[in-house]
Structure 1
Amino acid sequence: MTHFVLVAGARLGASAWDEVAAELRAAGHRPHPLTLSGLAEKRDVPAGQRTHVRDIVDLVERLDLRDVVLVGHSYAGVPVGQAAERLGDRLARVVFVDSEVPVDGESFLSGRPSDHIRREIADNDGFWPPAGADHYAGQGLTDEQIARIVDRSTPHPGATLTEPAVLTRPLGELPATYIKCLLDDEEPMPVVTELVASGHWELVEMDTGHWPMFSRPAELAGILAARGRTTPS
């Protein structure tokens, strides 16, 4: 049996993983969906990038989890990648789901056109506001699935997007799987391409959009479960 710590991307909390978590439980695993500080039911908790890394590490240590697979979607790949290298022998694998990955000294917004996001954060009291339904078009989602994402979204604390990541060793040393969702973009970002080409990371493709926990939860859960360990019968 494997413990899966599931962390959703910007604006979303633990409920984003409801269907994936149910599939993992049915497969004999223990999912631990995590809401990061400043989001969803923890909306009133102040948060920066360091806070989100601590959220993940604290959950694993508080529950004394072993054989942990950390799963980070979209933005959450940045704190998940940093947390993974802090877990030592508790970590079995880290899975990046169509996500950013941390680069030492760079933030989530580094290396991308970000002026509009920074303006939105400045105009909304330090928070990145939720996106409307149009943002999710063309991503393999039904209208009902889009409505659920919009309904579950909350403003995202801007400091977590602008503070730099801190890595203590090369990211490529982590046992990692990168899941690329092809409707979002057919090619992973250059840093991921380099890590996969080095032979240390595994690349898995999904023919769906950027939110596979909503569009293809059973398929995503199957990919995750295949990288876990089940209890012998």
Structure 2
Amino acid sequence: MSKPSIIFIPGSYVLLPVYQPLFDAVSKAGYEIKGIHPPTVGLSSRQGRDGPAPSMYDDAAVIAQEVEKLADQGKDVILMGHSYAGIPMSQSTKGLGKEERKAQGKPGGIVQLAYISCLVPAIGDSAVSLLSRFPNEKRPLVSIDENGWMLMEDPAATAGTICQKLPPKEGEAIVRDFAKHSAQSFGNELTFAGYKDIPASYLSCEEDLAGPPDLQREMIAMIEKASGRKVDVTSIKADHCPNLTAEKETIEWVLNVAKKEQESQQAA
């Protein structure tokens, strides 16, 4: 049985090089991993893209296209994402689960949804509805341009919320390299919940200020209720960006998710 392939979706605003050390470690362990640059993330530091900012559904469509390519090659796919990515990756899975494809006589498909301190809404909810419970003063200051692209206006303050375990100057430099992100994507409601039918894993970050542990536990409980199965939860002492501040533990978790999925498919 071949090893599963991993498709990775970054958090809002974040460019893929931020995750490169993670990708390198996973590749070195013998797993195929590909990062997707979603349409809702701008092309370069503090920039958007030409024209109106896309929707979360545009992200989901791109994810689905990448999954289908691997599935048609007969590959088992782990969809893995960080933060905002939990929403489009949940939305993207219609018709792409391995069991669903198998019933249609098709090879491959998604075998696991792996969430890293992700936002995971119920049907009809969005990033905005999940985050609206937090006071405005606890949210990063953003501006929105005429095309609907959001910019993190205060990188130092944002770093103090999402990667507070880094030295302040280092965290600020990382956030200053973030691109713009689509504003409308945060308001787009989930219309399809892939976690109802596809097993889920969750890396819970117990020192996360952007998506506090209580919210993470609520979302995990929601997934379990919707799916009727337990979520495979691992908790670590980390902030919202464990790939930066708890790199060793995050890499271990990714490899453990992949190894367990490989063993599960071999036993099936």
TM > 0.5 fold call: yes
| Letter of the structure 2 residue corresponding to residue 106 of structure 1 | D
Asked if the contact 1:6–1:71 (Cα under 8 Å) also holds between the matched residues in 2, the reply is yes
Residue in 2 that maps onto 1:7: 9
Any residues of structure 2 matched to 1:1-233 within 5 Å, and which?
A: 1-41=3-43, 43-44=48-49, 46-63=53-70, 64=72, 66-89=75-98, 90-113=109-132, 120=142, 123-125=144-146, 126-130=148-152, 131-137=154-160, 139-143=164-168, 145-167=170-192, 171-184=195-208, 185-187=212-214, 188-196=216-224, 199-229=229-259
| Bigger radius of gyration | 2
Rounded Cα–Cα distance in structure 1 between residues aligned with 2:229 and 2:68: 30
Rate the CA distance shift 1:183–1:146 in 2: closer, same or farther, 3 A. Answer: same
| Letter of the structure 1 residue corresponding to residue 120 of structure 2 | V
Q: CA RMSD in A?
A: 2.8
TM-score, normalized by length of structure 1?
A: 0.85
Asked if the contact 2:90–2:193 (Cα under 8 Å) also holds between the matched residues in 1, the reply is no
Runs of 4+ residues deviating >6 angstroms? none
Unaligned stretches of 5+ residues in structure 1: none
Rounded Cα–Cα distance in structure 1 between residues aligned with 2:17 and 2:23: 9
CA displacement 1:29-83 (0-9 Å, x = unmatched): 0110111013242842641011010111112223446211111111110001112
Q: Report deviation, 1:136.
A: 2.1
Asked if the contact 1:6–1:14 (Cα under 8 Å) also holds between the matched residues in 2, the reply is no
Aligned length: 229
TM-score, normalized by length of structure 2?
A: 0.75
**Structure with the greater relative contact order (CA < 8 A, sep ≥ 6): 1 or 2?**
1
